[in-house]
Structure 1
Amino acid sequence: MRYNRRGVALLAALITVLACSPGDEPPPSSHHLPADQRAGTPGIGDPDFPRDGNGGYDVAHYDLAVAYVPATKRLDGVAAVRARATQDLTSFNLDLTGLDVRGVAVNDVPARFSREGDELTVRPSKVLDSGTTFTVKVTYSGLPKPAKDTANLGTYGFIPTPDGAFVASEPNGSKTWFPSNDHPSDKATFNFTITVPAGVTALANGEMIGQPVTAGGRTTFRWRERHPMATYLATATIGKFDLRQGSTATGIQNLAATDPKFKGSLNELYTRSGEITDYWTTVFGPYPFSSTGGVVDDYSAGYALENQTKPLYGGFNPQETIVAHELAHQWFGNSLTIKRWKDLWLNEGFATYAEWLWSEHKGRQSAEAMFQQLHNRPESDPMWKYPPGRAKPDDLFNQSVYTRGGMTLHALRRAIGDATFFTLLKRWTAEHRYGHVTTEQFIDLAEHLSGKDLTPLFDAWLFQPRRPS
């Protein structure tokens, strides 16, 4: 999620493991179709973000090798993307903004390519048959520039800092540093090889493979995230960090990293991340990944993002509730990933409600008290005008998606009772582990477990531009 340090949620912090998104489903195709009908579409099919992602293929794995020099801000990269064609392909697109592409190969054979805006169009030397697996390798370099949307999202993506880079890419900033199918409906596993000047640390998702290797004044770090991950959660956060590593009380690997400016929060971040991760396993079910923790960097983003296994906090010491929020996202958003951005409340509403559950767990304010406080806001409050069940692309991280989304869950809890509600949370995370989810699926499961018609409740809380009674 994106969460400002004054406590108002402004900007955040995704079927089966390799499932094909609806926008990627193969049409009837053959080599007899004209070439233009065998081209992968330049968008994956999300009407709110029509140019995000790409059609015609489904990514299984990214192997990213990047070298970055903070002093010059230059990035050199080689991205090997392994994918399966979901239609016959004479060409296909990858999302990439800025940066210079020096060469492209498909299955180790040089391929023609062209650039237009954020689209890198690749034309393999021969047609890729539907159902076949292929690898496209892109060699690129340049000075990465972050994405900016001051009216909505702020600054995100690959953000150069004096000692490295702050990498937080939600919703579509991964294209600022590697070529990808940049939409949450196409998840994949990742390997990262990151080379930086000696004395600089490179952090990425998952777990480190071996020890860093230093030679010729440069150090190479290798990381692997073996669980499927949406592209916007991928990170290569680089800089000077103090580290603390170990395991939670239940044995989950735990890594906390802080910029030297925030060294005083290192132990607190490590301890709280472990404690909260372990507690959420009792509420939401088994932890979906192999490690947990968090990173505090000296970049005044004013928000946090739930990068898979390594939530990132931008320029502040995170409060306990923010850590609880970002770690809840490891279940809601990271393991269970939305197919389309319109369902963002399934990420942010759940993580916001997790804050309330943490407060209850610690004997502080109850979820019911928080709900009542919020419900007492006047009908003129802008939150009631924004139905969170249909997130707006030009106001994606509106407070309503967080707060009213969380209130929806509490209203549901009141309607079906604690026993059914908490059973629902565990069933929801178990049945869709590592997959994709929609609002309709959640409503169906809630009705199935409760035996109740919950249409009026969800309609009032998610889809009506007024305060529910």
Structure 2
Amino acid sequence: MPYRRVRAAVLCGLISTLAACTAPESADPGQPGGEAEAGAAGIGDPYYPNAGNGGYDATGYLVSVRYDPSSGRLRGDTTVTAEATHDLDRFNLDLRGFTVSSVEVDGEPARFSREDDFELVVTPARPLPKGSTFSTRVRYTGKPQGSADAQLGGDGWQRSPSGGAFVLGEPRSASYWYPVNEHPRDKATFELRASVPKGWSAVSIGRRGEESTKDGWTTTTWKEPDPVASYLTTIVIDRFSFQRGELEDGTPVLNAFAPGSDAMRDEAARVAEIVEFLAGRFGEYPATTAGGIYLGTDIGYSLETQGRPTYTRSADLDTVVHEIAHQWYGNSVSVRSWADICLNECFASYSQWLWAEHKEGDDLDARYRRAVEQLRDDAAFWAPRLYDMGAGHEFEGVYDKGILAIHALRQRIGDSAFDRVLREWPAKHREGNASWPQFEEYVQRSTGQDLRGFFDAWFRSTKRPPQPHLYPS
């Protein structure tokens, strides 16, 4: 997830001194219908049972939007390409708000209805056979919604001080602006065609394509060919200034600065340096682009949007290191369930320590010992579980306790084995999904060590680990 400085401040401070639609269906969309069955209204993550959807695997999104900052209205036309995982007579997409005017499946009109706050239920003209590839086109209009009850601050669609807008958030954000199978377990390619009034720019993930202006509207295309978890997509509309460059291997670097974000230019200038350093620890850079989107407002967190992280105004160099580290841990290798979030956040947080060790000569063993001793009696610090922490508690310990846990693992298995793990794990699961138990099994096989007691003490316990696991030899 994002690096939230207010969340990490305790440890960092300690160590720095260190619907309108056709007639709705009457049947339950989760029940079978004849020989074909309806896709489930949830992908199967026990933390968020209604997140995502079953019955199909999305393979690509083609999103076209037209947004007017003056009115705050968006017109969308999105095509979702997917493969049916069983004979399918009905399926769901996630979409929050908007008036849906039409839905087509493979070019034919489809019936649709809205259920709960975000389910768009689609019934194609004829059942879709298992293994078939099909496309669903949804046209919709309205004012995009936001939410103030997210764990790290507001998410969904938000307005910027300049009058522009952006969409950001984890674990959800995509459904606030296009229909989607909203869970990282179903990654897909992403292409955006965005139109905004002349004088504004729309920035997203992926490689920037053609841009044209006609009748007072500027249209820009963005294409991400690698599979991406939907919360890692974004659109930011503002009056940007741009810096362009390349990594040594030719990967394009694009930094987009919204009004009020100029203070981040020095950090942005170090993107290539940070990518090079992290690639030396984690392996080949996995993203197709690099750079950043720099907001002119402070929303309390930054987010690792794929290949081009989105930074809040208060972000610093540690934040940039953290979000780029997510391109390996979180983006290329994504969680299977939100219970596995330490795979993202614990390692991205620890990357900040690796950076300090390499660039500033920090003694991380000494830093670790100071932190452990000063937090010895802080029960609240040790209380969050780092694995299977419970829905709504995913981000309570991963930014601070998670750093100590990963360093303790390094001490336990040794530098050579730890370095091997850092590189092999993201390569093994590149562009896929993985779980925390899979990581534990992998480390034990890789090192030939029984680490069950260690992992339980650090990642499942709500108490300070006992001495043998706190200072492993």
1:272 to 253, 258, 270: 270
Out of 411, 420, 437, which is 2:408 matched to?
411
- Structure 1 match to 2:398: 401
How many corresponding residue pairs? Answer: 442
Unaligned runs of 5+ in 2: 11-31, 467-473
- The residue number in structure 1 matching 2:441 is 444
Question: Which residue of 2 is the match for residue 199 of structure 1?
Answer: 199
> What is the aligned-residue identity percentage?
39
Decide whether the 8 Å contact of 2:3 with 2:399 is kept in 1.
no
Q: Which runs of 5+ in 1 are unaligned?
A: 11-32
Q: Distance in 2 between matches of 1:403 and 1:194?
A: 38
- Quote how far apart the aligned CAs of 1:36 are: 9.4
After superposition, where does 1:160-309 map in structure 2 within 5 Å? Answer: 160-161=159-160, 162-210=162-210, 212-266=211-265, 268-309=266-307
Which runs of structure 2 are paired with 1:371-410 in the superposition (5 Å)? 371-376=368-373, 377-398=375-396, 400-410=397-407
Tell me if the contact between 2:260 and 2:297 (Cα under 8 Å) persists in the aligned partners.
no
Q: In structure 1, how many angstroms separate the alpha carbons of the residues matched to 2:325 and 2:221?
A: 26
Q: Give the superposition deviation at 1:394.
A: 1.9
**CA 1:224 to 1:74, structure 2 compared with 1: closer, same or farther past 3 Å?**
same
**Per-residue deviation, 1:365:** 2.8
Q: In 2, are the aligned partners of 1:245 and 1:255 still within 8 Å (CA)?
A: yes
Distance 2:335 2:6 in 1: 27
Q: Which residue of 1 aligns with 2:23?
A: none
TM-score norm. by structure 2 comes to: 0.90
* 1:159-190 deviation digits (Å, cap 9, x = unpaired): 13343212213111211111100011000000
Deviates more, 1:154-163 or 1:231-240: 154-163
The aligned residue for residue 43 of structure 1 is 42
Which residues in structure 2 correspond to 1:414-433 (within 5 Å)?
414-433=411-430
Q: Distance in 1 between matches of 2:45 and 2:9?
A: 24
Partner of residue 17, structure 1: none
1:361 matched residue in structure 2? 358
Aligned match of 1:148: 148
For residue 78 of structure 1, give the secondary structure of its aligned residue in structure 2.
strand
User: CA separation in 2, counterparts of 1:132 and 1:249?
Assistant: 41
User: For residue 91 of structure 2, what is the amino acid of its counterpart?
Assistant: F
Residue 404 of structure 1, CA deviation: 2.1
User: How far apart are residue 250 of structure 1 and its match?
Assistant: 4.5
- The code of the aligned residue for 1:270 comes to A
Which digits, 9 at most, give the CA deviation of each residue in 1:376-430, with x for residues without a partner?
20334312111111132122211x1222222222111111111111011111011
In the alignment, structure 1 residue 54 sits paired with structure 2 residue 73:
no
Alignment of 1:79-158 (within 5 A): 79-116=78-115, 117-149=117-149, 152-158=151-157
Alpha-carbon displacement from aligned partner over 1:302-346 (angstroms, at most 9, x marks no partner): 210000011111222x21111000000000000000010000010
Equivalent runs, 1:65-84 vs 2, <5 Å:
65-84=64-83
CA contact (8 A) 2:55 2:86 kept: yes
Aligned to 1:347: 344
Aligned residue for 1:13? none
Residue of structure 2 aligned with 1:459, choices 456, 460, 470: 456
> Structure 1 7/394 Cα, relative in aligned 2: closer, same or farther at 3 Å?
closer
Please report the RMSD computed on the Cα atoms of aligned residues, expressed in angstroms.
1.7
Question: 1:367 Cα deviation (Å)?
Answer: 2.6
